[in-house]
Each structure stands twice: as structure tokens, then as C-alpha cells.
Amino acid sequence: MILDIVGLQISVPEFILTIISFFLFMFLLNKFLFKPVLSFMDARKARIDEGLAEGKKAETALEENKAQLAQELAQTGAEARGVINAARSDAEKAKGEVLNAAHAEAEQLHKNVRERVKSEEKAAVGEIDGSMPELGDNAITRLMAQAAAHDCPFAQFYIEHIGEALNGEGLGIALEDRASGGLTLNVGKIELAEGNVTMHLDIRYPVTFSPQDVLAPLEGVCVAHGLALVKEDWMAPVYMDANGPVISALMAAYREVTASDLPPTVMGGGSYARAMEHIVAFGPVFPWRESTEHVADEYIYVEDLEKIREIYRLAIEKLACHRTIIKKG
């Protein structure tokens, strides 16, 4: 059936079929396209809204964190100022404590020196050291004083020419110089064998004198009294100028480590320094420590050992870098 409407021809079956096809297409489009797309869009919108909400929360949290950070910075600044003020107070307190400790250490240093001198004097009683006879009480001298009272010629010679004097004055050998001080004389031993009396004298003479300066007047006294003089042993003295390059280098190292201005010591003791030329005894006992060497259970403080190591290191460095220290004479 075909309708003719004002010249427009419409086929009714085709029209109906078209309408049915349209609605079927819309049904299928709605079922398989529009609903999934709308569901996807709704889900996407929900995710966007959720992201916006989270962003708002993050922004709010950021503002809160900024406010908290500003508060903490202000609190930290106050605490830092408190710490600085406390540190300044502690520094002033520590400064006073350091000064007090330095004064106490200096006082202890003087005390230790005095105690060491006393201990060495005490240790020397009854045991004469040839290098420091003034610290001892010579038993031979006491014995000779008693024997002289019984008209013993040898004892009377002893008391007249030696006696309590330790500088050899009675024997005509009281020598002295500025470099090393005065001569010391110690009667170390007396032996009686085959009717002969042998007296052993330990004489340490000043460095600027020769052995003959000692032997000549001593032999004159002995001959005048019928005694024989025998030179049993002799060692040349060791002496270096305190202002020379060697001692100056050693003392510079010592003072750099200890900050002590004590002068070098001259004594008449035996020393390993005699083994070679251009050698001088150097350390390792500090004057403010008690004397612990050459006794039972001798020891040394670890801090002293470390300090000595540094002194020797500096001394070797200074000696090695000084080209004019040793000159072959």
C-alpha cells in the first residue's frame, strides 16, 4: 500500500519497518553503548570528585603542617637560644675550672719536685753515689773518725786530708769551673789485704780541667805521707755547651712538649753518652715525678711515656734538620 500525500509517496510497510528498526536500534544502542558509557562516566566523575576531596584534605593538612612547622621553628629557636646561653654559662664555668686546675697542677708540680728531692736524699743515706756524695752519709768516714781517736796513722791522714769534705780541699784538688761546677770526691771502698790498705777514691772533676790537674797535687800529698797513688781507671768527661746547637735543639723539643723552662742539668754521673762522640744523656725522667728508676718494681707512667715519645720525635727531627750541629774537630 502506497500513500500519495501532496505528491509525496510513502510506503506504509517500509515506514512501519523503518520505525521498528529505529526503536530496535535505539534499544540496542541504549543497552550496549549508552549504559556502559554512562556507567563509565559516572565512575570517572566519582573518582574525580574523590580526588578533589583528597586534594582538599591534602591542602588542609599542608596548611596545618605549615602552622605546626612555624610553631616548632619558633620553639626550636627559643630552645637554641637557651642552649647557647647555657653553653656560654658552661664555658665561663669551664674557664674558671681550667684556671683552677692549672693552678692546682702547678702547685702539685712544685710539691712533686720537693718530694722527689726529699726521697732521693732519703734513699742516698747509707748508700753513697759517686755522682752525688753530698746526699749520703759515708760509713767509711765514720769508721775513720773512730779509728783516728785510737792513734791510727792512716785514719788520722784520712780525717786530716779527706774527712767530711767532699770537694778534695784537703788533698789540694778543690777545682771548680762555671761550666760544670765543683769537683766531687767520694771514698767508695777501703780494702785490707796482705798488710796493705787500699783506699778507692771516686773523683769527678770539672770539664775544663785535665786529669793531670787532679793527679799532680794528689800525688804530692801521697808522697809526703809515704803513700802510693795508682790511677785505676779514667773516663773523659762529657760536656756540651748549653747554648750550643745540640743542647739548644734538645731543650727546644723538651720545652715545646712540656712548656717547662727548667734549664738543662749538669751532673757527674756515668752515662751511656761516653760510648761515642757528640752524644749527651737526654731523659727520660721528668723533674716533677718521683724517682722510680733503679729500684725494685721500677715503672713509668703511660702519659709520661707518650710525652717522652713526642719529645724524642721532635728532638730527632730538629737534630736531623740542623746541618751544622756536628763538626768534626
| pLDDT, tens digit, 9 for 90 and up, residues 293-314 | 777 888 889 999 999 999 999 9
Cell of 218: 794528689
Which residues partner with 184 through β-bridges? 204
- Asked whether the beta carbons of 268 and 131 are under 8 A apart, the reply is yes
Residue 295 backbone dihedrals phi, psi, to 5 degrees: -135, 170
Calpha distance 143→153 (Å, rounded):
14
| Rounded average pLDDT over 23-27 | 78
234-270: pLDDT as tens digits:
887 778 888 888 889 999 999 999 998 888 877 766 6
CA angle centred on 31, ends 27 and 34, rounded to 5°: 100
Tell me what pLDDT residue 82 has.
81
- Asked whether the beta carbons of 239 and 274 are under 8 A apart, the reply is no
- Asked whether the beta carbons of 132 and 267 are under 8 A apart, the reply is yes
What pTM was computed for the model? 0.51
Cell of 288: 716533677
Calpha distance 186→127 (Å, rounded):
11
